[in-house]
Structure 1
Amino acid sequence: MSDAITIHGSCHCGDITFQAEANPARVVICHCTDCQKMSGGPYRSIVQVKEDAFRLLSGEPKPYFKVGDSGNRRELSFCANCGSHLYATSVVEDVPKGQRMLGIRTGLLDEVAQLAPRSQVWCQSRVPWADDISSLPGTARQP
């Protein structure tokens, strides 16, 4: 992973902190209905990293298991204190632990500005109004 950078992240309350080696080319926007429901927004941005490139520095994520729209069993991890969603992975029996891919939520990362999305998945579930919001009026902070 020669293009890898070290990323650092935490949940909202700071109980869970982590770092990982990530390739910025592996940043994806997911439009699946699970990501919409769990983020409360029209999509979620993730960076995909190998599980063995992820290091938990503090705290213990709480897992939540479900079957995704893909039919795969999914493990979603979050902070039990503040509820921040941290990452998700497919639970695949023939992939050894450590080799699974984690989808880390980019909003948790100190380096989020360096991690522009490179692709989109589950576009069939895309919310059409979210395609271009650049023309909407905006303020630097909430009035």
Structure 2
Amino acid sequence: MQIHGSCHCGAISFTADIDPERVTVCHCSDCQALSGAPMRAIVRAPIDQFQLQGNPKAYVKTAQSGQRRAQVFCPECGTPLYGSEAVNPQHVVIRLGCVAERAQLPPRKQIWTRSAMPWIHDLESVPAFAEGS
């Protein structure tokens, strides 16, 4: 499936061919801190099937897994775009929050659940509003 994405301000955009069966929710503490959320939805794409327009910035961090990972974001608005191996990347791990087709990409698995917030599965009991509060 081809997907399209961009940062919040539009300075960076991309297209990628992905396998929708590989959509994952990650609960690791790195994803929590780097996204500012209790989890992050992601999908992996081969680097040769990822086309980027614009000039993002990268921050290299040793991940919870022990791998050195580049965290790539827009230098203008700060939108997290994707992650990849820090050296010789073979794949990008796209952040679904910046993908136009995100509503069509339900997660197929969850990883790093030992770091998941204990209340994450109790959201059905929390009052919900279609817009604002």
Same fold (TM over 0.5): yes
**Number of equivalent positions:** 133
Read off the aligned partner of 1:18 and give its amino acid letter.
Answer: F
Measured on the aligned residues, the alpha-carbon RMSD in Å equals 1.2
Instruction: Give SS of 1:134's match.
Output: helix
Read off the aligned partner of 2:100 and give its amino acid letter.
Answer: D
Read off the aligned partner of 1:137 and give its amino acid letter.
Answer: P
Read off the aligned partner of 2:28 and give its amino acid letter.
Answer: C
Residue identity over aligned pairs, in percent, reads: 47
Structure 1 partner of 2:34: 38
Structure 2 partner of 1:73: 68
Residue correspondence of structure 1 range 117-132 to structure 2 within 5 A: 117-132=107-122
After TM superposition, the score normalised by the length of structure 2 is: 0.95
Runs of 4+ residues over 4 Å off in structure 1: none
Structure 1 partner of 2:24: 28
Read off the aligned partner of 1:116 and give its amino acid letter.
Answer: P
Shift of 1:90: 2.2
Gaps of 5+ in 1: none
Gaps of 5+ in 2: none
Structure 2 partner of 1:47: 43
Q: Tell me, in whole angstroms, the C-alpha distance in 1 between the residues paired with 2:84 and 2:66.
A: 13
Q: Tell me, in whole angstroms, the C-alpha distance in 2 between the residues paired with 1:102 and 1:122.
A: 19
